[in-house]
Amino acid sequence: MITISTCMIVKNEERVLARCLDCVKEFSDEIIIVDTGSTDKTKEIAAKYTDCIYDFPWINDFSAARNFSFSKATKDYIYIADADEMIDADNIRQIQELKSILLPEIDIVQMYYTNQLEFGTTYNYDKEYRPKLIKRLREFYWQDPLHETLRLEPVIFDSDIAIIHKPHESHSARDFANLQALIQSGTTLSPKLNVMYAKELFIAGTNDDFLTAKPYFQSLANATLKEDELKAVQCVLVKCGVIEADAHLILGAALKNIADGNGSAEVCTCLGNYYESLGEYLEAVLWYYNAAYETSCELCLRYGNELPLEGLVRCYQALGDRTQAEFYQDIINQNAEN
C-alpha cells in the first residue's frame, strides 16, 4: 500500500479549511500545511489536524510556495489540495482503495476537478482532469531492447475520482493584484498566464480591472504570439475600447481578430454592445448573432451564448419586433432549463 502526503498552501482560509481537512485526513498519512501569511484562525484550525505547519513569506509566486510544501513531504505520493476543495464519501473511499492497488510505475494520478460555477469560480468548465496525486520521488527506467533510451514521459493514470471545487468567493481580485504586481516588477508573463489573465478578466473582471490591464495588453498587441494568445489580447483590447467608447481601439483590434475568418465570440459580443450603446440596433443584431451562432469563444463561454442572446432580445425589443424578441427569449429559457 502506498503512503500519501497531502500538501497545501493556505492564507486566511478559516471559512473552508476544516471542511477540506475533514476529507483529506481520511486517506492522508501526513498533512503538510504551508501558510503564506494568515491573519485569521487558519493556523489554529490546521493545528487540529497536523503538526506539520510551516510559514512561507509570500513573494507573489504560488509555484515557489507549492515547491516549498513539496520539499516537506516524506511519503510515497503527494496529494495536492486547495482549501476550497472537498471530497464526498464515495470518492474518499475510491482514494482509499487506490492506495491499495496503485501500480508502482504510475507517476501521476489525474482526478476530475468538478467546478461549481455557482460559487464564483473563474473557469469555463464543469469537469476536467487535473494531476492530483504525484509520486514524490520519480524513478527513471531504460526502455527498448536495442538503442535503449530513458523513459522521460511520466506514466499517467486517469482515475474516476472527482474532487469538488467549492470556494466561498471569487479569487479574481487577488489574482489581478498578483498579476499586476508581477507586471510592474518587470516579470515577463508566460503565454499561459497571458491567456489566463484575459480569461479571468472576461469571467470576473470589472471595467476598472480591464482598464488597469489595458496598457499591458497593448504592449502585447504587436508582439509575435501564438494564435490563442493573440486572440486573447485582441478580445481584451476590444472590450477596453467598448468601455472607453474608443472607436479607433475597437476597430484596430476587432479587424485583426476577424480578418482570418475565425473571429472570437467575445469580440462579436463586444461589438454588439458598442452598436447597441449607440442605438444602432440592426448593426448590433448582426454582431450578437455572429457571437451566438457563427464564432467560438476564446475566453468565456457566456460571450458565445447567454450574453449575445440577451443582446438580441434587447435589440429586437428596441426595434419593436416582438416576435424575434420572444424567439430568442425562449432559447434563453430553454438553455436555463437544460
Same domain, 247 and 105: no
Cell of 139: 524513478
What is the dihedral sign for C-alpha 323, 263, 234, 255?
negative
Render the burial of 230-263: b for 16+ CB within 10 Å, e for the rest.
bbbbbbbbbbbbbbeebeebbebbbebbbeeeeb
Q: Specify which residues 55 forms β-bridges with.
A: 35
Q: Are residues 161 and 210 in the same domain?
A: no
DSSP β-bridge partners for residue 54: 34
User: How many domains does one find in the chain?
Assistant: 2
The confidence score (pLDDT) of residue 197 equals 94
268 domain residue, yes or no: yes
How is residue 172 written as a grid cell?
479574481
Task: Say whether both 14 and 96 belong to one domain.
Answer: yes
Residue 137 burial by Cβ neighbours in a 10 Å radius (0-12, 13-18, 19+): exposed
Q: Report the chain's terminal Cα–Cα distance, integer Å.
A: 43
Sign of CA dihedral 193, 55, 81, 118: negative
**Residue span of the structural domain in which 253 resides:** 189-337
Q: What is the DSSP letter of 296?
A: B
Query: What is the CATH classification number for the domain harbouring 87?
Result: 3.90.550.10
For residue 328, count CB atoms less than 10 angstroms from its CB and return exposed for 0-12, middle for 13-18, buried for 19 or more: buried
Looking at the structure, do residues 25 and 157 belong to the same domain, yes or no? yes
Is 79 in contact with 133 (CB distance < 8 Å)? yes
Shared domain check, 148 and 16: yes
> pLDDT (tens digit, 0 to 9) for every residue of the chain, 338 residues total?
999 999 999 999 999 999 999 999 999 999 999 999 999 999 999 999 999 999 999 988 899 999 999 999 999 999 999 999 999 999 999 999 999 999 999 999 999 998 755 544 445 556 789 999 999 998 888 888 877 888 889 999 999 999 998 877 667 788 899 899 999 999 889 999 999 999 999 998 999 999 999 999 999 998 888 999 999 999 999 999 999 999 999 999 999 999 988 899 999 999 999 999 999 999 999 999 999 999 999 999 899 999 999 999 999 999 999 999 999 999 999 988 87
Q: Are 265 and 303 in contact (CB under 8 A)?
A: yes
pLDDT the model gives residue 125: 56
What confidence score (pLDDT) does residue 261 get?
A: 86
* Residue of 274, 199, 286, 183 lying closest to 235 (CA atoms): 199
Residues 8 and 147 in one domain: yes
Are residues 9 and 100 both part of a single domain? yes
CATH number of the domain to which 230 belongs:
1.25.40.10
Based on the domain organization, do 202 and 156 belong to the same domain?
no
Between 265-277 and 281-289, two packed helices, what is the crossing angle to 10 degrees?
170
Nearest Cα to 117, choosing from 163, 160, 170, 174?
170
- Considering the entire predicted model, what is its pTM? 0.75
- Tell me, yes or no, whether 77 and 208 share the same domain: no
Q: Is 174 part of any domain?
A: no
Q: Is residue 181 part of a domain?
A: no
Tell me the C-alpha distance between 69 and 315, whole Å: 53
DSSP annotation string for 85-141: EE--HHHHHHHHHHHHH--TT--EEEEEEEE-GGG----S-SEEEEEEEEESS----
Q: In this structure, are 113 and 35 located in the same domain?
A: yes
Give domain status of residue 234, yes or no: yes
pLDDT of residue 121: 47
pLDDT score of 119: 47
